[in-house]
Chains A and B, each alone.
Chain A
Amino acid sequence: MSVAHEVDEEHEVHVHQEPTQFIWKYVFSTDHKVIGKQYYMLAVVAVVIGLTLSLMFRWHLATYDPQHMFLSPDTYLQVLTMHGTILVFMVLTTAPLGGFGNYFLPIQIGAVDMAFPRLNMLSFWLTLLSFITLLAAFFVPGGAPVSGWTGYPPLSAINSTTEGMGWGQTLWVGSIAIFCLASLVGAINFIVTTLDLRARGMTLLRMPLPCWAWFVTAVLALLSFAVLFAGGLLLILDRHLGTSFYIPAGVIFGAKELNHKGGSPLLYQHLFWFFGHPEVYIAILPGMGIVSHILATFSRKPIFGYKAMVYAIIAIGGIGFFVWGHHMFQSGMSPYVAVAFSLLTMTIGVPSAIKTFNWLGTLWMGNITCNSAMLFALGFVSLFVSGGISGIFLGQNAVDIYFHDTYFVVAHFHLIMGVAAMFSIAAGTYFWFPKMYGRFMNESLGKVHFWLTFVGVYSVFIPMHLMGLWGHPRRYSGMENAFLSNPFIPAMHNMVTAAAFVAVLAQLIFICNFFYSMFKGPVAPENPWNCTSLEWITTSPPKFDNFGGVEPVVNHDPYEYSVPGASKDYIMQTDPPEAAPAHAVGHD
């Protein structure tokens, strides 16, 4: 029996060499940069599909005529369900974390790759499998499910109710379950990488804010996706193995009573929203990190209150686990419980406000450059404020009894989650594109893209708040019901649809700009924005091992801009310690 002794006692040594064959280099790659781009491309495909679906139901609503409906009521709901599911899971959960996080987390902390590259690859391929499974729901008998992105039982638990609730719903649950596994594997990788792979000198409180955001996001994903998985598991068992976890006794369907008894549909709502609320932060926290980074860079100022920003991210993530009940005020929960959830929900307003004021503080008296990345970052702040304010209304349990399931909720979460997160993705793209592809995107097209999108989305969602106030219910394909006697409603629908077309078509400018610039954009230098973090000390695009065989050593905090007495207006994190006059170092 022989025992081999390692020479290097502290490390596991892996051979890590650049693969030469196409398939290992670009398809089954374990390189975090390739995986990041794969995630990003998956999100681009998903966003095109998801937004096209939204144009379909917007067209239906604008041209609504009971005699000649563009979509049948069932199809309307199918399109709506797939729109929500694709965008929430395949876009907002993939691009900000799997895309940018994979690409830039290791580089920003000075690592060569993620801790477990093969697990990383696994997590991308599971995500792709999940996406394909979800899309397959369109093509099975009956088509896609109609139960919305939240998939509430009993509708989702009984497989014979309407079109799409058979195979379509089963594929939907299967897809979500695979997605959970992919996210869990990814989250483990992010957490370990952040904790154990930082370069020398890169203390936790010297990490750029995007790294903090990705880290906390990964913790949220780690703790919440397993719960969604449990919820989905029970749903599948109810659907196919005759159990009664969610289906109560006495459900009569097609004139015959179903053979289920004793389940509780509310159980699902608890499991779903225990995941669902952290999920909304999974979508937005990376955006907050990216936007903080961009605002500091283009104001040439240290981020205002770096530590406060870090603690606010942690607080938002932490409190986010105790507020899920605010999605269930209308479920008949005890008013005492509702008040508790309401108060906890309001508490999240505090760290959110800290972040907002610190962003404004960063801009204050800054030397601002308004390029496309900065415009989208500013747009993000604007959307976060306007979406957050409606959240404060919804968080009051008494008020929410009226608002629940109206367009007001739709407007709230689109502004703050959907559109704000998209803005952060766009901002991140304009900002990091030169690093990822070694070329710049076109600035003029970027600005046109910004203004059309910005005006477009506000014109879509501000009217929706009003429609919600008038009582317009969400998820209705028809307009015959009593809520809609308001004569302004059809006109509103027309206007919203027109704006939606503008906002969605404007994204084509972005996509064209993206692919054109990839090949034809002006060549970018190493550090075009004079930014301080580690991705900018390496070539554009970075070498296979990120830093070309040298290990970066970090001497500075991440946002040392305009330090008095320094020779230039920014100090790279890797600059020698004496680059900043001693008394001027540190930003809070």
Chain B
Amino acid sequence: MPLATTEPRPQLKPALGAGGPGSGAPGRGGDGRGPEDAGGHGRRVPRRAYYTGILVGLAPILMLFAALASSYIVRQGITHEKDWIDLPLPGLIWVNTLLLVSSSVALELARRSLKRQALPGFTAWWKIGTLLGLGFVAGQIGIWWQLREQGVYFSDNPSHSFFYLLTIAHALHVLGGMVALLYVWRGSANMKLVDGRCLRVDLSSVYWHFMDFIWLFLLGLFLIGR
């Protein structure tokens, strides 16, 4: 009999403070539909699945930027047209880089505090990190605005098109990350910790550091070959 060696699913104990199955735990858990006694059961997803998920999810973002960057390099290399006008890199770009990198540092400090169970420290660093991130986005808008003032438009030259395209694509991804940072901020009073780690904190900071990485990669792209 095939079922002979299967064993009963372990009984799940309701999680303290997070609500037992069926109570629609805040923020996670529960399709929350149907009455509590409809015969549902706890579905256990290993925590590492979320870590795998975020790493796997970064791969297509990397591929997207790799594809756009290789198009950039190929286009830059087409010399016979002589129509590639290097873009005047605004000084603000360095300020923004600093903002973004320091926001990542702040998030890491927040995570350290969390590990030590120092919640006030966590909240403070997390907020600083988020604000620095917002500063980066504002700074990027400043750059586009400055360039426009100088008469550098999206479609007037391939190098300009690429610059706008890459920075806007990056900024949109950063904004997505910003939503996650704000979400953690909002929920920081009610976190679920396992070993001093919180899933949403970890996942959103991994994503955020990855945005740093993409940004540094783009910066390098803009600098080389001019």
Contacts and interface: CB of A to CB of B under 8 A. Distances in A.
Given A4-B15, A18-B34, 7 more contacts: A3-B191, A224-B63, A225-B60, A233-B68, A237-B155, A264-B78, A575-B4
Contact of A8 (B13, B49, B64, B83): B13
A8 B81 contact: no
Interface of B: 2-9, 12-18, 21-22, 24-25, 28-34, 38-50, 52-53, 56-57, 59-64, 66-68, 71, 74-75, 78, 81, 83-84, 117, 119-120, 154-155, 158, 161, 165, 189-195, 199
Contacts of A574: 2-6
B45 A197 contact: yes
B67 A10 contact: no
B180 to A, nearest CB: 15
B74 to A, nearest CB: 6
B114 to A, nearest CB: 9
Contacts of A3: 117, 119, 191-193
10 contacts: A4-B191, A15-B32, A196-B48, A196-B52, A227-B63, A241-B154, A274-B67, A527-B2, A552-B6, A553-B6
A15 B26 CA distance: 12
Interface string A108-123: 0000110111000000
Contacts of B61: 226
A315 B15 CA distance: 45
Given A184-B60, A241-B154, A553 B3 contact: no
A271 B66 CA distance: 11
Nearest to B71: A267
A547 B21 CA distance: 20
A506 B7 CA distance: 46
A523 B125 CA distance: 63
A271 B195 CA distance: 44
B199 A12 contact: yes
A230 B68 contact: yes
A2 B188 CA distance: 9
Contact of B49 (A4, A18, A115, A576): A115
Contacts of B5: 553, 555, 574-576
A67 interface: no
Nearest to A274: B67
B28 A262 contact: no
A176 interface: no
Contacts of B57: 188
Going nearest first, the 9 A-B pairs with the smallest beta carbon separation are A17-B40, A4-B17, A16-B43, A230-B67, A226-B63, A226-B60, A11-B44, A242-B155, A537-B2
Classify chain A's interface size.
Answer: 35 or more
A13 B29 contact: yes
Given A8-B13, A223-B59, A245-B158, A14 B52 contact: no
Interface in A188-225: 188, 191-192, 195-197, 222-225
A263 interface: yes
Interface string A258-286: 00011110010011001000000000000
A197 B47 CA distance: 11
A244 interface: yes
B43 A113 contact: yes
B7 A18 contact: no
A576 B43 CA distance: 26
Given A8-B12, A10-B47, A222-B56, A243 B155 contact: yes
A7 B53 contact: no
B49 A267 contact: no
B155 A222 contact: no
Contacts of A115: 45, 49, 53
A14 B33 contact: no
A18 B39 contact: yes
B165 to A, nearest CB: 7
A14 B2 contact: no
A249 interface: yes
Contacts of B71: 230, 234, 245, 267, 271
A112 B42 CA distance: 10
Given A3-B119, A15-B30, A116 B60 contact: no
A9 interface: yes
